[in-house]
Structure 1
Amino acid sequence: MKKFNSVFRRFLVSYIVILIIPSIAGFLSYHTSISVTEKLSIENSVMQLQKSKELLERRMAEVEGFTRQLAINPDINVLMNEKSSGEQTNVYGIWRILRSVLTFGQTNDFLQQFYIYLGNYNVILTPGSAYVRPEHFYESFRYEDQSLAEWRQTILGQTHRSEIMPLRQYNNRGTITSVVTYMQSLPLDSFSGSSPAIVVVTIDEKTITNLLTGITDKYGGWTQISDAGGRTIASLGTGVPDMQALAKDASFDADKTSQFYKDDLVITIHSNTNGWVYRSGIPRHALLEYANQIKFITWTITGIAIAVGLFVGLMLAYRNSMPIHKLVSVVKEQFGKDDTTERNEYDFLHGNIAEMIRSSNQLESELRRQLPLIRDAFLKRLLSGELQTREEIFAAASQANTGIYGHSGFVCILQVQGYTGMDSVEVLNELHAARLLLKQALLDIAGFTLTTDWGSDRIVIVFASKEAETGNTIGRDEIASLLDQLSKHAFAEYRITFIAALGEAFASETEVSVSYEQAKQTMDQALHADRKGIVWFEETRLESATYYYPLEMELRLIGTIRAGETEETSRIVRTVMSLNTEQRELSVEMWQQLAGELKGTLLKLLDQKSFMESGMFEQLKDRIIALHATDKRSFQAEIEEITGVMCSIVVSRKNDGHTRIIEAIKTYISGHFSDSDLTLYRVAEAVERPEKYISQLFKEVTGSNLSDYLEQVRMENAIALLRENRYTVDEISSRVGYNSSHSFRRAFKRVTGVSPSSYRQTVEG
């Protein structure tokens, strides 16, 4: 242990110092936590109670606003002013009112239970029901302490102006509960005697107390609301004191916001709107719970830390030194260096780690050197047709950090002349040098090096551009001019001659291999005919006993149909037909076999579920079987038409699924646009799709971003509210989902070109 004594002592001293500092801080924090916790609890409780008060007043204001809306309802006004004629009742008018009030309870749970009494018809209307006799309504909905006659006299027979009846027991279809009653006579200017109509809203006590659960859920205790006369509106929790006795107690100040009363901290808030009093009681033990926890945790942790400090210090010193010794041992073993007497372990590690960094840099440099080989391998795979789909080509190009610099062009093969039949080492070296010189000359003339070696005497060049150049003489002339310059330069400088063979133009990355095969065939024909210079594919015509329909081309055709790419599918079909009709002389038997192969490809595709469930399975199957290969042009047209129908089926199935998702997104936004917390994540969660997927899908289908659509919906609703002229701009901004009126005004002006206030003035004018 001698080698650890110094390390252990230094660690132990620092560890004890570290322990003492937080212990002292914890001791001080315990004494301050009581006052801080008490202050924060009071502030939080007052804030929570204030929020509950504001929310309750807002709900009650909505109830009052509901009665005002009924007051201006033309259907109710017609019924109130009609004179009852015996047993006849305006059934249609009553039905219109029932329909118009049906949805009010969906936006405010205070409006779940209400009824409208029409005096001239002696009828009571509720959401969804009409009682032609008040006594029928009384049988199901009544106050426990009030008879039918008393109910008729005090509720239906008097004029009420925003009158609130305190908490009373209420029988709701046999269920006993407690309710607060809001009453308003119609029209609003009714003053005395009976009024034509009365709106009565019964608010369940549980609905009110749901707004007061914030404090009781956190601390326990109780919360109580009373009106200006001291009558209880709602109460929640246990241990609610007698409010009348509380008001008479001289030790309790009714106007003080917070004070300790017995074992509770009592918070009191007065409403300036309706005179209601909101009180909440927090038990003292709950208030000081966090402070006591701090005390217990502080002393417990301090005691344990000091008790085990020495042991932990020893273990940590040993633990921290062991990795260094193990690392030194491993380095010695790997590098074979045992002599470290002249320097310590840190110097030893420093020297060997520096050596490893140098080795890593050398490896990175070697990988960069190998990158041209990787790019060359990508180009060879592309030319040989190993990469079938565009996605596969793009992935391989990204991996090789390269591409073909365009979507269309020509494939060219250069063969160095003068070395046929020679395969000695000297000849191979000369050919290698010739290939390098030609590629460098091409780089100097054309400015690109999209080339690869193919054998000892051949170079393959891919000429590609952004736009399709099929049939474009300018592109062909440019290539011919470039090859001519290359030929003259190579001969003048190095006495190198070559033959250039080019395939037909490819219009897509997937057709590069086809153009290469054509270039190979052209080169074979040129060598056979002893042609010189530049030879194009269309200048040779193949006489072949077999058709050309390789497996990779069939797989490419199947893949494009499955993806619903109509244009790409037609291009492949035209390529197959061109290669076997225009560039080859096929016998009747070979042509029939090719037609059978194409029909077999389409029949194999029909076995997939997407086509079998489309409703066109039998029709397509019959069309494919009935195909006749007598007329090549009509056969090609029919094949293209069938593949087009199959692609349209695939696209239709995709679009149906996409349309359902888009409609679900729009429906969810229309119901939740007023929520300021509405985000892309919540929309994605509602439709059960990833965020990135629905964002891209919405853009592709609708042409606009999801955020722009949400803003458009909010602006349309804001315009409707501005036309109604019932709310302020600040209220409208909240109703359409904006956190601040400033953000709303800025968005409104960006969309409409004018501010909300200016728009409202324009509408009013």
Structure 2
Amino acid sequence: MFKKILWRFVFSYLIIFLIPLFIGLGAYFNVKDIMMNNLYRYNKTTLIQLEDKVENEVLKSVESLADWVNLNPYYFIFLPEAKEALDSSDRLLNIRNLCRELYSQTYKNSYILDAFIYIPSEKLIIGPSYTTTPYNYYTYINKPLDMSYEKWLEFLSGEYKMKYISSFRIKADYKNLSTIVFANTLSRWVIDGKNANVFVIIDQSKIVSTMKEIISYPKGAMWILDRDNNHILKVFAESQNIVLPKLDFSIYDSFNIKELTLKGQKWIVYYVISPLYGWKYISMVPVDSFFEDVRRVRNMSLLLLGLMSIVGSILIFFFSLQNYRPLSEIKSLLQSKSENKETKSSKNEFDVIRDLVLHTLSKEEEMKKQIMRFTPVIKNNLLYQLLVGGILPESVGEPELKTLGIEKQSGKFIVCLVEIDDCSGFIKDESDSEYALVTLVVTNVLAELLDTNNFKHWDVLFSRTKLSVIVEIKDSFEESMAKLSSLFENMIEFLEKNFKIYVSVGISGEVLGITNLKFAYEQAEKVLGLKFVKPNMKIFKFSELSQDITSEKEFLPKDIENRIINSVKEGKVEGIYEVFENIRSHITAANSPHMAKMILIYLYGLYYQLLNSIPNTVGEKQKPEPEKVLRLIINEKNPKKVLQALQEDYKNLADSVIINKQKMGNDLISNILEYIHQQYSSSEISLSTIADKFNITPQYLSAIFKEKTGQNISDYIQNLRMNRAKELLLTTDYPVSQIAKMIGYTEVSGFTKAFKKFEGVSPNKFRELNKLQ
């Protein structure tokens, strides 16, 4: 018997173990395809990242700079007629402004080392911070290492069309640099019959660093070709010289991958082609290196599967023994405590435990009585199930009646449903503990009033805002209803006056026996639902309002109500007009004038609910008075007039939502501007710190500031700082380092660079020039 049970455990664990084992085997055989797909996706992604970085940060900036120079109106100062019209000081001022604008176009881009315009008729080079001759530029600024001066002049005067020249070596700041030179002939800059050229010197080393980060294999190589397939850059992961094979680029393939053989070695070649610039980004990796990770993962998977099989077999037998041991102990324990002498030791453990459980279930009624006697929660649950029809009333026997304190099933009962409408004046938040306190107050007040008037009652808690009271009546229904009405009026007045708790009450008709409590509860629930169309009532009696209950029918479909709410909250006036067309059709289809009026009352109730729940600018004088609205609906024979007025009220509410949003935006910007003017001299001020201050996201702050002021927040702060710096430079003798700290710069070098960009001269030079004047 021991072996039979034990091997049953072993077999069960084995079945469970084999499922993930077979899944692992399937994954093992598919891992190569999965890894290959991941490798292709990864390499495509990396090349596209390189393409985006090069084109967005280099090509786009450089070619945009060329277009900007070509369209710049300052070329007029070099025309012959301009020389006659302008004196030397005006001409120098215009050239200085051109230099300043050229600097503002280049300083932000870390890839651009220099940019200048060459005017052949003037033998003049204009750069971001200089105006010089070709000889001085060649000798002192950026000396081309592979050109004589004559070749340099010839290079400056050539004709170019968006041309990139790679491996252009220069000497700048006593360092030899490898660069890429972009050259373009300016079509508009025709001066004395000769076109000017613009040149941009690009730092090749930074592009190479980016390419090396992309190469993820130790023996890989990468090339960048321009639109004419000229080699712009090439990078090798190791010290090797690999010749790029001839590739047949297809203009229809944005990404392609191929396998080829070079000098007896197999390679993987993949490339992307820029759809905008036509540049090609090519990567070549040895096959062995490319598949190294795939082989490593497959071998590791095989090793893990073998190890899992060995360890799993050991663990299966171990856990089977461990699980069998407590089973045997449970059998012995149950047998020792059981009074059933028929359980024989010859039976196996499962049979013994099953027999003992069946024996225990036979005593369910006795256990049920004990639980009911000591568990108040079950009492509430039993009453709840009786009201909602969760259990059959005939299944409630004498023990249950005794627990509930009901003498007999055939008594006369009324169900009262109390719903808490508003308790915000009594509690601070909407936690469960706060609502539990509200429920306790309402229950205690109601219980005291019912006990004082000799009503036997049973409280049933439904939710944190709804509770029901089952009341047994001894007198006639009319007398009991009059007492209950007076009692609930006193309760409502007392709760509102002393606790700021507002409730509504629905009272059912009289039912006979607990078997009909479900129908009484449904009556109370339905009649309480009329509070949305009878806003001035607080006690709803089924005996008086049963004719107003529309069984199984909504006043309005839920989608129409949702569309009204969304249109108002989003300020969409067109949506209001569209949904009211549907409401007109709905009213036309109503089966009675009474139903049409109920729909209009419901719409006005929804209007007041929206009016009190969303920010708006509707004034007290513009709000329709509820009493006048009800009289208008009841007395008006043509509902179209009421619907037209109601549509206008909703439209005004939607308009006011838009106005309120605009006002909130203007107030927010005013507060932000005031805060910036107070804190701009702090080094801690930034987009994120301002957003945190006003509890909004940086993205929303940036967008609304740009919309309201027409400029970026960083530019606004910098303008404040620079204007304050100029004031301090001219009115004080503070050193530049102190002025930098006073306006929020931690490093004087950063302040000097920003000031030079703003004014075109350094702070010391600005102070010197203005003091001389």
Q: Structure 1 length as normaliser, TM-score? A: 0.46
Q: Structure 2 length as normaliser, TM-score? A: 0.46
